[in-house]
Structure 1
């Protein structure tokens, strides 16, 4: 009987989806278009050749040599020579330049006298990622230039090249990146943004599927198809969306690389399992919100409030450990937070399965909350016909 009720509800939902172009777009076109858009945005992988300006007031061989070193840095490119500070600031406000280097007059003269030569760097810290790359590359080029000046000066005084080198840099720092070695933004940032977009669409579909039955006063007909079984009704209604979004999730894992042949089979299995659990959890949470509010507009508002800012709380762009307690608590109730942790552990870090047990367990807990909560809320609203029809 339960299987028959499920099949009837499934056929009913498939019939609706065949007619409703908006729901078709939510399931098919929006995930595809947003995934392609994010892939295109981060296709370069790394940030290179940020345009900066150069104000060279010295016009000397040394200032030109420094300019060439800065321009050779991979993250920046000298794209303009502003006439003055006003023009430079205007260019930065319009974002045609992300920073400006100023080499003051008398730069070469001071260096040849053995004095300190100052180089000024102005950058727009409003764009933190670009500013960090710009500052790092300009500083590295400037330090390299300064070290070269000291090496030449001391060698001219008769010191050996080896002694000069060791005294200029007595401590050598070796930086080793353990994960995401190439600092690929498509991997760590784009790879978290795609699930962040998917979770919004998934929960919207879950809320819409149940909310429209309450709005259209078709709730009794829907439940009648399931012989009054709330669980069978929900399962049949949400199954098409679950299959489609699970397909999109696995397609993302294939396209971005977590399911590549380099990952061990156990990691691929837990990633697929985690994706399926996250999709089911968001669908059921959306259904729970719709049944609890008994108002589709209110439900979609709650869904937007819950899912739209979720990416800011998962710890991918801003470290979760540095967030205040309230933000950490909010992050803890988002399935996306635990999925991103699972994805990072099994894809980028190659962590043992035991390290991801907590993330998967919390995702399963949220699935259980959504399943139980949606059934109870649906049972409650089914007995309150005065709440039906709200728009």
Structure 2
């Protein structure tokens, strides 16, 4: 056993890139991703303000915006054009505009309006700001309606019921706190895991395998290393408090099939191209869109035919389907095995790659 370990250490010490991929980058990438989203929710996002009314009503709007935990007013501007450059450079993420005669329209019940401009390219930030601003406007609207009804009716309970005749009670089935870390880490970490595994597989194939046994050892050995990192990933997500309502063991099996699949694709590509640089390029094009096409940040049922086809070509899409089914919903075992069966198709790429290597050795 010790002899085997010494041989492995000697092998890795001569291949610095492989050493980084096996022992350094998984930790660094995992820590980096966690550090970015450790706050869980976006808070204190800087926005700008254009107050064209300068009244007590507009001051109340400013107070309500600054009271929101999601955003705060970083700077005031004299006009929208003055704020445009800062909005484009992301010095501020949004611009709230209080129009002329805001208090007058509010008092006369003419439908006073507040405007929020934000850069929709910042998808999550824009969504958070839009939701927070809607809450601010809703609260102010309710307060105004209650005040008007109280003047008319003189009864607080009646004024409240007229102002808010329908109360919403929304109960999320999972991720109750709308935690962005839970939403994104569960996708980003598996995506990074498959990319690191693919890169390590390419490094192992720099020298062409002289036999099927040599190829098989590299394929299985590389998979085993990253399966271990995959188990660490699942344990980390569980320890962070994210739900695992189904079978943890099935998720481990899913990680194994995911890595067998992506490594099989690399073997097949290298067998066809026999050029490490070209293989790296093709693998980069193949795996880089995983975040967009995995079916989490953008649902598969909203994709067009081409996007859906590309999604089905990625083993990470099936793995994320398995993860969501087991971790979030606690889905059935039969459903999980059905997804695993679909994922196992990618293992056939290793068989195809092995046959191509064998055919080329026979020439």
Q: TM-score, normalised by structure 1?
A: 0.85
Which residue in the other structure is 2:287 paired with?
Answer: 307
Change (3 A) 1:177 1:201: same
Whole-Å Cα distance in 2 between the matches of residues 45 and 126 of structure 1?
Answer: 20
1:10-25 equivalent positions in 2, closer than 5 A: 15-25=10-20
Question: How far off is 1:366 after superposition?
Answer: 1.6
Question: How far off is 1:207 after superposition?
Answer: 2.8
SS at match of 2:247: helix
Match of 1:77 among 72, 75, 78: 72
Question: How far off is 1:11 after superposition?
Answer: 9.4
Give yes or no for the alignment of 1:358 onto 2:338.
yes
**Structure 1 residue runs without a partner (length 5+):** 1-6, 224-229, 385-391
Whole-Å Cα distance in 2 between the matches of residues 104 and 237 of structure 1?
Answer: 67
1:62-141 equivalent positions in 2, closer than 5 A: 62-141=57-136
Change (3 A) 1:259 1:359: farther
Question: How far off is 1:39 after superposition?
Answer: 0.9
SS at match of 1:100: strand
Highest relative contact order (Cα 8 Å, sep 6+), 1 or 2?
A: 1
SS at match of 2:153: coil
Give yes or no for the alignment of 1:316 onto 2:308.
no
The superposition leaves residues 68-122 of structure 1 with CA deviations (integer Å, 9 ceiling, x where unpaired) of: 1122223221221123222211210110111111212322233223332222222
Give yes or no for the alignment of 1:55 onto 2:50.
yes
Change (3 A) 1:238 1:127: same
Mean Cα displacement is larger for which, 125-134 or 164-173? Answer: 164-173
Match of 1:152 among 147, 156, 159: 147
Whole-Å Cα distance in 1 between the matches of residues 177 and 241 of structure 2?
Answer: 18
The superposition leaves residues 228-286 of structure 1 with CA deviations (integer Å, 9 ceiling, x where unpaired) of: xx1x222222343222211111111111117979746x611101111112122222221
Which residue in the other structure is 1:340 paired with?
Answer: 320
SS at match of 1:300: helix
1:216-295 equivalent positions in 2, closer than 5 A: 219=209, 222-223=210-211, 230=212, 232-257=213-238, 263=244, 267-295=247-275
Maintained 8 Å contact 2:243/2:328: no
Which residue in the other structure is 2:306 paired with?
Answer: 326
Give yes or no for the alignment of 1:377 onto 2:351.
no
Whole-Å Cα distance in 2 between the matches of residues 60 and 199 of structure 1?
Answer: 57
The superposition leaves residues 285-308 of structure 1 with CA deviations (integer Å, 9 ceiling, x where unpaired) of: 211211122222222222112111
**Structure 2 residue runs without a partner (length 5+):** none
Maintained 8 Å contact 1:55/1:103: yes
Which residue in the other structure is 2:162 paired with?
Answer: 167
Whole-Å Cα distance in 2 between the matches of residues 289 and 258 of structure 1?
Answer: 37
Whole-Å Cα distance in 2 between the matches of residues 74 and 377 of structure 1?
Answer: 59
Over the residues paired in the alignment, what is the CA RMSD in angstroms?
2.4
Whole-Å Cα distance in 1 between the matches of residues 218 and 159 of structure 2?
Answer: 75
Give the count of matched residue pairs.
361
Whole-Å Cα distance in 2 between the matches of residues 360 and 259 of structure 1?
Answer: 26
Give yes or no for the alignment of 1:36 onto 2:36.
no
The superposition leaves residues 27-86 of structure 1 with CA deviations (integer Å, 9 ceiling, x where unpaired) of: 222222111111111111111222111222222222111211122223221221123222
Change (3 A) 1:191 1:113: same
SS at match of 2:41: coil
Q: Which has the larger radius of gyration?
A: 1
Which contiguous aligned blocks of 4+ residues in structure 1 show a shift greater than 6 angstroms?
10-14, 258-262
Whole-Å Cα distance in 2 between the matches of residues 11 and 203 of structure 1?
Answer: 25
